[in-house]
Structure formats: structure tokens, C-alpha cells
Amino acid sequence: PIHKLKQVLDLNCRIGSWVIDLALSYPGIIVTGLDNRPHYVAMARRNAAVGNLSRARFYEADLIKPLQFADETFDLLRLSMSSVLFRPDEWPAFLQECKRIMKPGTSIHLLNVSAGPGSSEAFQRIVLLIDKRGFERIGFAADQLTPEGLVHDIRALERAPA
């Protein structure tokens, strides 16, 4: 149950939206966000500072390397967009590291984009481009897209060399 959570870690937190939302909604939880891109970490810190939110913490970290947390620190781990972060051979070490920093009996939530048969044509196109080029090659944050920007980005990506 969420009311029992004390320490939560969001791996690949991007601009910190989920971390901030959780910290605002549940005052008893300290939420930490990690991302490997300094500009996202800086943006997340600015976003938390706007609300004077000291329980939302953000750090730059390479998720392929050991994380700088003590054993059994977190009650919950969340990882979104993980399919673009790791090669298949990197998953075992990453999951072992997650297990190390998780308290016994807790869980990790893995969230990924999945294009299903009910998805819009624009969504199908963007997922295919992500599969082809990867997020870093594409160079935008999905949580910052607008419908107008999405159409523009899709057209630009379709013209760009793979």
C-alpha cells in the first residue's frame, strides 16, 4: 500500500514530473529521481524548486554502473522507457543492482511504450521511428510533446537519415 512507502526511486526520471507529483500527493514519501542527462536533472531540480519541494531529489547517474545508495534503501523502484536504456546483456547486472537497493518484499515497476492495435496512426509512426533510431538519436522528450510538435517531429524524423 502506498501509505507505507517512505523512500521511492524513479530511474530515468527525465524532467521529474512523476517524482514531483508523487511527492506533492504523499507528504510522507521522499522521492528520488535519477537520469543520465544533466539537462534533464537540472530541469527536474528547477521544477521541484518552483514548489519548494525538498522531498523531491534529483541526481545524475549512469544506470549501467553501480548506484550510489546503501543496500535496502528503497520501498519502490520505478523505471520508465527502459527498452531504450539497456542492451539485452546489460539487464542482469542492472536488475541485480536494483535488488541490492530495494528493501525486502518491495517491487520494481517497469513501464514501456507499446504500440497496440488500438493506437493512433501518429503514435504507430513515432514508435516505429523510436525503434529505428532510439530516443537519443531522435532528440526529444516524449513527455514534452504537443500534438502540433508531434506532427512536426514525425515529418522531420521521416526525412532524417537513420
Report the distance separating Cα 113 and Cα 144, nearest Å. Answer: 15
| pLDDT digit string, tens, across residues 81-98 | 776 678 888 888 999 999
pLDDT of residue 80: 86
Report the distance separating Cα 159 and Cα 5, nearest Å. Answer: 46
| Three cell numbers written together for 57 | 531529489
pLDDT of residue 91: 86
Grid cell 511504450 is found at: 113
pTM more than 0.75: no
Question: How large is the average pLDDT for residues 120-142?
Answer: 54
